[in-house]
Structure 1
Amino acid sequence: MSENNKESNNHKQYKRLALVFFLSGMSSLLYQVSWQRILTIAYGVGSVSITLIVTIFMLGLGLGALLGGELASRYSAKSGRLYFCFELILGLYGLLSLPILQFLGQTTSGAPIHLYGLLISLFLAIPTILMGATLPLLVESESREGREIGETVGELYCTNTLGACAGSLVSAYFLISIWGLDTAIYCASATNFILSAIFYPFLKRQEARLKLATEVNANGNAKDNAKDGSKDDLRATKAASADSHKASAIYLLAFVSGFVAIGLELCWFRTIEILVKSSPYAFASVLGVYLFGLAAGGGFIGKHIEKAKKIGQTKLYLLLQLGIALYVLVSYSLLNTHQLHALMRLSDMQELHPSFSLEIFQNLKSFSEGWFAWFDIAIWPSYFMLLPTFAMGASFPLLSSITAGIDKSDGKTVSRAYFVNVMGNVLGGLCTGFLFFNILGTASSVLALCCILVAVFGFAYLKHVDFKLRLTAKHLLLFLPLLLLLRYPSNEKLMNQMHYKPDGECTTYLQEGSSCVSMAYERDDSVWHWINGLAHGGRLPHMFGYYNRALEALSFAGKESNILVIGYGTGSIVEAVLRSPKVEKVTVVELNQEVMTNLKKMDQFKKLLQDKRIELVIDDGRRYLYRSKEKFDVVLMDPLRSSTAYSNNIYSAEFFKLVADHLNKQGILMVWLDNMTVIPKTIASQFNHVKLYKSFCLASPDAFCPKSLHDQRHAELLNNFSQEEVKKIGAEEELLGDENHIKENSASFGINTDLKPVTEYHLWH
């Protein structure tokens, strides 16, 4: 075979290998997005649950990398076969994962934190360890073809991460939105089987070459030692000259970069989540841009690894980390500018992101206010993250190349670097989520993370600078951040920029923590309130009509002694039910501790919450019902919008069935509505009797009481309010129809189920 033909065949084989690793990354992210979303159904969407799921996932990947490196070192000749088997096992596990998750949900929902942490760990252990092991195994398999480790890692890392980027976007924007979470998991499983089939011919050819090499080998070495002699000599030389102290220092830097990278990702996600109003597509978009940046950086440095060696790989690695810190500080400082402030106002005008509404073409004003909402879910992540993640992506192949030769196996070298980096991710996620956000707030957390980068990598960089330039470098490292601090926003200033502020003098209340950002403005008795950038509740003159929702529910209920309120808002519903002397207990379940802490800073809420009949529970509403055996006369729901992330957990048919099981005889459920088709139809699928109003729905397992009795009870309830308050409350809200009306008007719409979140993933519906 001629050299040209041989080179052509090698190129084709490598393209096939690239496709395999692209699909591998894609399937991994399909699993991650889907499994993470399904696990919250049983274990809640509180900050502890979400952080546990993400941390365990990352930890599994890190342990998998260690395992993959060890296997690559011990069974180098069989690394390709191991990779093939791991992908097949992942596909089989994906097929079984839905029944396993269903079983866990039915038997352990509402379990205490230590138990559900253990269960999540057990469920995610096998697949995440297998996923983490794939990169070292494939690197080892490819390194047997004589490729340089920096180039190999750069190209494979780029391809795998591009696949992960595609998986993140495809899962949210298409698979889950159109077909549901179950379809996304089945597609991931099918992808594992497809890539295994593509990889198999490559595996057979590689094993044939190894067999031939073994036969030719004069010493009769086993397959595990049948590598090219020159490569063994090269490794031996590298290993002999490796400096263990230098290796430890490099691994420490890898840990710090991983710590800061995940911390910045959480800060970016919080910032972008506020700008795009807690969109369910925010996570996929942020992750997609993050992964694309990593892939682009990894691919770029992989192609230019020889140039990087001439510059100095360690010096370049350190400069990239310092560049990340500089860009992040600049990007947040520029939020003070008029241009970016104007774009933030455009994002603030729309509730749905992305909002592919054709109404923006009605007139010039609509277009000028609405066009940005079509693209902002991609623009904001790109602005904050694209350049820093490019630098992060370029760092990993550099790190692998710098540490090459420390171990006898390229796969083991990569695995250790990857493991240390992931352990930094794990600790960085925990510290940022539970410490930095609670103590420092978002803007100060970003600043602290950048200072860590500058301090650690700046000190390391100074050791690699010529003595003559060291003083100049010191001054730059000291004064550049100080200059940026002159324009860097405080926590309150950053949040003020991202929230609508009413005209006139107002008192600002801000509370940040691990679960959310609660922002409120108060003027006299008026209150404006936001949770993660989305207006929620408030106390304004026109909002007295909200009391009608609670009064209607109480008027139809057989009793009104024991009330459950899911979502405190700003307390209008709670205040309305507390006016009734017949109410003995009101259980308020609020997801976010920060909301209650912030509202209690205001005298009007402090006074209201002192009522001894209130029992405040900080928990996920669904998780609370799983744990509670108590039954209620009335359940009142005023949560965030049905189009926000994780909202389907309390808008699905399964959830409404759970509520029905917690109602006493002639009990009433009241649900605030921002959707007049899918949600009423979903409620009607679980309740025999439903009343649909203009902004809310009442439902009961039993027949509603006669209108005459309702009117009598309603009048009695109004007697608990002053005449001025009754005028503000106004007339009863217009009744649109019953369950038959809902059935007729929503015939062409689907319903929300746990696995098919129609209103949450609202695109294409």
Structure 2
Amino acid sequence: MTNTSNTQKYRSIALLFIFFFSGFAALIYQVIWQRWLVFYTGISSVSISLIVSAFMAGLGLGYLAGGQIADNAKKNQPILFFVLAELGIGTFALISKSIIYDWLYQGNILYGGSTFQTYLTLFLILLFPTFLMGLSLPLLSKAFEQKNAENQAHYISLLYFTNTLGAAAGTFITTFILIRVIGFENAVRLGASFNFLCAITAGIIYYFQTTSPQKAEVEVQKNSSEGVFSWNRNFSYWILQYTASGFMAICFEIIWFRMIETMMKSIALTFSIILTIYLAMMAIGTYVGVRLAKKIKTNRLKLFLNSQYLLYLYSAGSILLLHTVISEKSIFAYLFEYFQSYETSFAAKIAISTMFVIPFFLMAVPTFIMGFSFTISQTIIQDKFDEVGRKVGWLQFVNIVGSTIGAWFVTLIGFNHLGTALTIKLISLIGLVYVLAIHRNQFYSVFVRLMMGLVLIMTIILIPDNEKFWMNFSGMSDAKRFIVKEDETALSFIKTLSDESYVYINGLGQSMFPFHKDITHFTLGAVPSLIHPSPVDIGIVGLGSACTLYNAGGRPETQTLDCFEVIVNQPDAVREYVKRSKDSSALRIMNDKRVKLILQDGRYYLHQNPKLYDILEADALRPKSSYSGNLYSIEYFKLLKSRLKKGGMAITWGATGRIRNGFAEVFPFIYEIDGFMIIGSDQPIEFDETKILERLNNSFTKNHFSQAQIDAHEKLARVLKTKKILQNGKLMITKAHNSDMWPKDEFDYGKLWENILPKDE
């Protein structure tokens, strides 16, 4: 018996080990498939919510089916089904690029449908792999029968721990190493190799398990799990708890992301940092729960309810405390000043605070409690081996249902209608349910129970309203100098500092008012339109302050100015600024009949619509901003070229060598203006300075720029003298460029560590 017990122990450990790599692979896929699917849906919070919801829906169905399969399977068959699931996931991964990117996006399949049709498409595309992923936990939960129900619960918790820890490692390593070193497609292939490795290892375990004499003898016994599932009132309470837990967890995850992204100033690494901390601390909490549960045999329900109360209290209290201390100028002045600033900084003090200290402070304790609570709840719930699979399956399924509801609640109701602050308050009120549960079970004295409720209520009340909430996290003290617009797409701020006002998206500066002081956006907007002999149709990706749009509209020949803006509330922020400041130039361009605001992802729109333009450009986007690679890839430049009329011009910010190289592979004629703006065309561009400057004498053009107090002649004359010919008729072929499958600039943070670490390190 001892040898048999030890053999089972080692095989259980082996399954725990391979489940780590299964979780690792799953997060490789989630990170990269989301990037690929965005090409099909366009970049927006709604589209990303659709993708995440479709991903979770498949997982939920997999959990539910996995529980039924596991409990009705014969001895050892759950391991066999796990092997088949891993093989299926790995096989899909190998062909996923062909399905998601080549067929769905490049093949123009199923475009133009409703939101429901888009969701249905995503759901069906992801159903096969995510369903198989969902099967895994219920199947392995039933792989071995432990000595007693408590050991079974610990085994399930350890499975959850290793899988979640693998997911955390997968998130971090994928973003910080794999994408940077080998790109999207090779990273997915690596994930598939992990799935196949898991399948092979589990297959070996299955072989030895079924061929051992002891197991063969048990094999003929009737599986008692064919009985009726005992769905009692107690289990119904746990169904509600797991649903609420999923709702709360995703709500706070989305809110933390919005807060931390704004404080970091919207860089590509934000999501991975948040998700890594979230998953890692949940895994640690699960493991600590296993160790602690072995020592605590009584009052587990009391421990569980206390932990849930603490989760809500800490989540609300930490946000309140952070908001309060940020305004403490003597200690945290550097953070307050950074939140007010225009650019992202990787200085050691700033980077460590915004990328590590603040995310850990907000997230570590609540996510630790989430994992800890999973273990404690499993020790209470799991009492029959025959029902292990179905209980795990049902509970994980309703947890996913709660997560899906929470994602849509925060995205569509919270951010759109309530604001972040009120959304936090409403979610935190769920904590009172656990106070009532503590009261019902008569844990503690009446006084203590009342104090628990009052402390939570007071914490919630003290969280300020939405404008004051975001003022502090924007480094602003005067409400008259601050504008905030919030919806599911992003946060838009306009801050008035001294005599200038600045536009921010998710904390990062984008452009400024008044227009006559913004030379960068004058160059981006006015120079191409004045160089082109007849710019009838102009398309600009990005609104910002509308300065680029205004300067692009200075020619009487221009009939359409299409402006693509993915941040839906951005025009409202500009209009609010116009209302307060009486800025006539901003008002004029917003009311210009030639202007068509298209509130969509610009690349998505251009891919779908065949309209041709004389000028197409993306308003200057930082190469390390999230999803910036989609506007700096060689495939995007080819899309621009396909949407230009003969002799048309594409404009980009030549911020890196890779961007310039990609441009040079697409456009035979390339010119640099003012050291940063790159113009590409399929025809030589005439740079007759005299003729170009004469265009400023047109009455329409002269009036257009003078109304904004822009000295166009002086600015244009200076800028034209900076012109350089980078390529004259011959395409350059180089591997050093960005592509949709490898956005190298976006994930190239080599200098980040040099800036954060002291020089002697």
Tell me, yes or no, whether TM beats 0.5. Answer: yes
Is 1:295 matched with 2:295?
no
Relative to structure 1, is the Cα distance of residues 520 and 611 closer, same or farther in structure 2, using a 3 angstrom cutoff? same
Aligned-partner Cα distance in 2 for 1:404–1:42: 43
Kindly provide the CA deviation profile for residues 161-203 of structure 1, in whole angstroms up to 9, marking residues without a partner as x.
0000000001100001222111110110011111222222221
Relative to structure 1, is the Cα distance of residues 442 and 749 closer, same or farther in structure 2, using a 3 angstrom cutoff? farther
**C-alpha contact 2:246 2:402 (8 A) present in aligned 1:** yes
Q: Could you tell me which residue of structure 2 aligns to residue 389 of structure 1?
A: 367
**C-alpha contact 1:559 1:667 (8 A) present in aligned 2:** no
The residue type equivalent to 2:152 in the other structure is I
**How far did 1:120 drift?**
1.2
Q: Could you tell me which residue of structure 2 aligns to residue 684 of structure 1?
A: 664
Kindly provide the CA deviation profile for residues 93-136 of structure 1, in whole angstroms up to 9, marking residues without a partner as x.
11111111211112236533343322211111001010011000
Aligned-partner Cα distance in 2 for 1:666–1:420: 57
**C-alpha contact 1:140 1:409 (8 A) present in aligned 2:** no
Aligned-partner Cα distance in 2 for 1:304–1:392: 15
Deviates more, 1:558-567 or 1:100-109: 100-109
Is 1:326 matched with 2:327?
no
Is 1:451 matched with 2:425?
no
Is 1:137 matched with 2:139?
yes
**How far did 1:437 drift?**
0.9
Aligned-partner Cα distance in 2 for 1:518–1:691: 33
Q: Could you tell me which residue of structure 2 aligns to residue 221 of structure 1?
A: 221
Aligned-partner Cα distance in 1 for 2:310–2:209: 41
1:521 to 482, 495, 505: 495
Aligned-partner Cα distance in 2 for 1:7–1:41: 52
Kindly provide the CA deviation profile for residues 613-667 of structure 1, in whole angstroms up to 9, marking residues without a partner as x.
1111100011110221111111132053221111111111111111111111111
**How far did 1:295 drift?**
0.4
**C-alpha contact 2:503 2:545 (8 A) present in aligned 1:** yes
Relative to structure 1, is the Cα distance of residues 287 and 34 closer, same or farther in structure 2, using a 3 angstrom cutoff? same
Q: Could you tell me which residue of structure 1 aligns to residue 571 of structure 2?
A: 596
**How far did 1:535 drift?**
0.3
**How far did 1:485 drift?**
4.4
**C-alpha contact 2:58 2:131 (8 A) present in aligned 1:** yes
Q: Could you tell me which residue of structure 1 aligns to residue 437 of structure 2?
A: 460
2:267 to 279, 283, 290: 279
Q: Could you tell me which residue of structure 2 aligns to residue 365 of structure 1?
A: none
After superposition, where does 1:391-406 map in structure 2 within 5 Å?
391-405=369-383
Q: Could you tell me which residue of structure 2 aligns to residue 568 of structure 1?
A: 543
Indicate the RMSD between aligned Cα atoms, in angstroms.
2.9
Q: Could you tell me which residue of structure 1 aligns to residue 386 of structure 2?
A: 408
Aligned-partner Cα distance in 1 for 2:257–2:725: 41
Relative to structure 1, is the Cα distance of residues 608 and 386 closer, same or farther in structure 2, using a 3 angstrom cutoff? same
1:248 to 233, 236, 240: 236
Relative to structure 1, is the Cα distance of residues 596 and 18 closer, same or farther in structure 2, using a 3 angstrom cutoff? same
Deviates more, 1:49-58 or 1:571-580: 571-580
**How far did 1:542 drift?**
3.0
Q: Could you tell me which residue of structure 2 aligns to residue 511 of structure 1?
A: 485
Q: Could you tell me which residue of structure 1 aligns to residue 702 of structure 2?
A: 719
Relative to structure 1, is the Cα distance of residues 341 and 21 closer, same or farther in structure 2, using a 3 angstrom cutoff? farther
Deviates more, 1:260-269 or 1:33-42: 33-42
Q: Could you tell me which residue of structure 1 aligns to residue 167 of structure 2?
A: 164
Q: Could you tell me which residue of structure 2 aligns to residue 183 of structure 1?
A: 186
**How far did 1:304 drift?**
2.7
Q: Could you tell me which residue of structure 2 aligns to residue 229 of structure 1?
A: none
Q: Could you tell me which residue of structure 2 aligns to residue 478 of structure 1?
A: 453
Aligned-partner Cα distance in 2 for 1:404–1:666: 71
**SS across alignment from 1:593:** coil
Relative to structure 1, is the Cα distance of residues 371 and 341 closer, same or farther in structure 2, using a 3 angstrom cutoff? closer
Relative to structure 1, is the Cα distance of residues 517 and 216 closer, same or farther in structure 2, using a 3 angstrom cutoff? closer
Kindly provide the CA deviation profile for residues 2-51 of structure 1, in whole angstroms up to 9, marking residues without a partner as x.
x4x66654443333222111001101001110101111122211122101
Deviates more, 1:196-205 or 1:95-104: 196-205
**How far did 1:707 drift?**
2.2
Q: Could you tell me which residue of structure 2 aligns to residue 45 of structure 1?
A: 43
After superposition, where does 1:495-506 map in structure 2 within 5 Å?
495-501=470-476, 506=480
Aligned-partner Cα distance in 2 for 1:616–1:216: 70
After superposition, where does 1:510-549 map in structure 2 within 5 Å?
510-522=484-496, 526-540=500-514, 542-544=517-519, 546-549=521-524
Deviates more, 1:180-189 or 1:515-524: 515-524
Name stretches of at least 5 consecutive residues in structure 2 with no aligned partner: 752-761
Aligned-partner Cα distance in 1 for 2:52–2:12: 33
**How far did 1:403 drift?**
2.6
The residue type equivalent to 1:462 in the other structure is H
**C-alpha contact 2:78 2:142 (8 A) present in aligned 1:** yes
Q: Could you tell me which residue of structure 2 aligns to residue 58 of structure 1?
A: 56
Aligned-partner Cα distance in 2 for 1:665–1:709: 24
**C-alpha contact 1:750 1:758 (8 A) present in aligned 2:** no
Aligned-partner Cα distance in 1 for 2:43–2:332: 32
Name stretches of at least 5 consecutive residues in structure 1 with no aligned partner: 226-231, 356-368
Aligned-partner Cα distance in 2 for 1:163–1:543: 48
Aligned-partner Cα distance in 2 for 1:670–1:33: 30
Relative to structure 1, is the Cα distance of residues 710 and 687 closer, same or farther in structure 2, using a 3 angstrom cutoff? farther
Is 1:735 matched with 2:722?
yes
Kindly provide the CA deviation profile for residues 295-317 of structure 1, in whole angstroms up to 9, marking residues without a partner as x.
011111122324444122x3222
Aligned-partner Cα distance in 2 for 1:341–1:322: 33
Relative to structure 1, is the Cα distance of residues 764 and 414 closer, same or farther in structure 2, using a 3 angstrom cutoff? same
**How far did 1:52 drift?**
0.2
Relative to structure 1, is the Cα distance of residues 250 and 283 closer, same or farther in structure 2, using a 3 angstrom cutoff? same
**C-alpha contact 2:669 2:729 (8 A) present in aligned 1:** no
Aligned-partner Cα distance in 1 for 2:538–2:198: 54
Aligned-partner Cα distance in 2 for 1:145–1:656: 62
Kindly provide the CA deviation profile for residues 274-295 of structure 1, in whole angstroms up to 9, marking residues without a partner as x.
1111111111111000001110
Identity %: 26
Deviates more, 1:178-187 or 1:301-310: 301-310
**SS across alignment from 1:489:** coil
**SS across alignment from 2:34:** helix
Aligned-partner Cα distance in 2 for 1:699–1:577: 17
**How far did 1:492 drift?**
1.9
Q: Could you tell me which residue of structure 1 aligns to residue 125 of structure 2?
A: 123
**SS across alignment from 2:255:** helix
1:21 to 19, 22, 37: 19
**How far did 1:341 drift?**
5.7
**How far did 1:371 drift?**
3.7
Deviates more, 1:711-720 or 1:572-581: 711-720
**C-alpha contact 1:153 1:302 (8 A) present in aligned 2:** no
Q: Could you tell me which residue of structure 1 aligns to residue 602 of structure 2?
A: 621
**SS across alignment from 1:739:** strand
Aligned-partner Cα distance in 2 for 1:486–1:447: 8
The residue type equivalent to 1:461 in the other structure is I
Aligned-partner Cα distance in 2 for 1:158–1:15: 12
**How far did 1:145 drift?**
7.0
Q: Could you tell me which residue of structure 2 aligns to residue 86 of structure 1?
A: 85
**SS across alignment from 1:641:** coil
The residue type equivalent to 2:474 in the other structure is H
Aligned-partner Cα distance in 1 for 2:176–2:340: 22
Relative to structure 1, is the Cα distance of residues 626 and 171 closer, same or farther in structure 2, using a 3 angstrom cutoff? same
Deviates more, 1:55-64 or 1:541-550: 541-550
**C-alpha contact 1:334 1:340 (8 A) present in aligned 2:** no
Relative to structure 1, is the Cα distance of residues 215 and 678 closer, same or farther in structure 2, using a 3 angstrom cutoff? closer
**C-alpha contact 1:59 1:422 (8 A) present in aligned 2:** yes
**SS across alignment from 2:120:** helix
2:526 to 526, 529, 551: 551
Aligned-partner Cα distance in 1 for 2:30–2:8: 33
Q: Could you tell me which residue of structure 2 aligns to residue 205 of structure 1?
A: 208
**How far did 1:344 drift?**
5.3
